[in-house]
């Protein structure tokens, strides 16, 4: 399976801006810029989207792990806090907070399932992945 997203940028880092789009059209020419990313202006940024992807992926993985243990969740609600160090421009942490309503499960079973999902969801693994690049300069 492959999915695609794209970004376009025009101008300098602080005065310029760009758009983000996904193949599905969920994002279509969605604006992003320096203010949205580093100054808290309204709008999205790459770290917010990583957080959404990680929260969604983890929650689906948790549903899978719970199902394998014989449980079906009534609800699973997850938040992801992505920390970007402005000095090193590095994502230094992702903190997942999840709350579940899972009939028949106790706290220990829920924590075990959540830890398994955290270790094995594809986005958790992505954050440790090899990244390849092809770069072409047009004249």
DSSP per-residue codes, 55-85: HHHHHHHHHHHHHHTT---SEEEEEEEEEEE
22 located within any domain: yes
Q: Are residues 64 and 116 in the same domain?
A: yes
Q: String of b and e for 24-56 (b: at least 16 CB within 10 Å)?
A: eeebeeeebbbebbeeeeeeebebebbbebbbe
Please tell me whether residue 46 adopts helix, strand or coil conformation. Answer: helix
Q: Are residues 66 and 115 in the same domain?
A: yes
Q: Is the pTM of this model over 0.85?
A: yes
Q: Are residues 93 and 25 in the same domain?
A: no
Q: How many domains does the chain have?
A: 2
Q: Are residues 71 and 108 in the same domain?
A: yes
Cβ of 78: how many Cβ atoms within 10 Å?
Answer: 20
In tens digits, the chain (139 residues) has pLDDT values of 888 999 999 999 999 999 999 999 999 999 999 999 989 899 899 999 999 999 999 999 999 999 999 999 999 999 999 998 888 888 889 999 999 999 999 999 999 999 999 999 999 998 876 778 787 867 7
Q: Do 90 and 84 meet the contact criterion of CB atoms below 8 Å apart? A: yes
Q: Are residues 18 and 52 in the same domain?
A: no
């Amino acid at each position: 399976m492959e999915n695609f997203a794209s970004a376009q940028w025009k101008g300098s880092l602080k005065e310029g801006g760009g758009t983000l789009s996904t193949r599905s059209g969920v994002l279509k020419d969605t604006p992003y810029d320096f203010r949205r990313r580093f100054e808290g202006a309204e709008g999205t940024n790459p770290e917010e989207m990583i957080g959404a992807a990680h929260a969604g992926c983890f929650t689906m993985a948790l549903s899978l792990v719970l199902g394998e243990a014989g449980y079906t969740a009534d609800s699973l609600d997850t938040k992801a806090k992505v920390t970007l160090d402005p000095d090193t421009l590095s994502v230094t942490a992702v903190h997942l907070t999840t709350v579940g309503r899972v009939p028949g499960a106790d706290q220990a079973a829920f924590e075990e399932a959540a830890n398994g999902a955290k270790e094995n969801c594809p986005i958790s693994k992505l954050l440790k992945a090899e990244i390849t690049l092809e770069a072409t300069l047009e004249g």
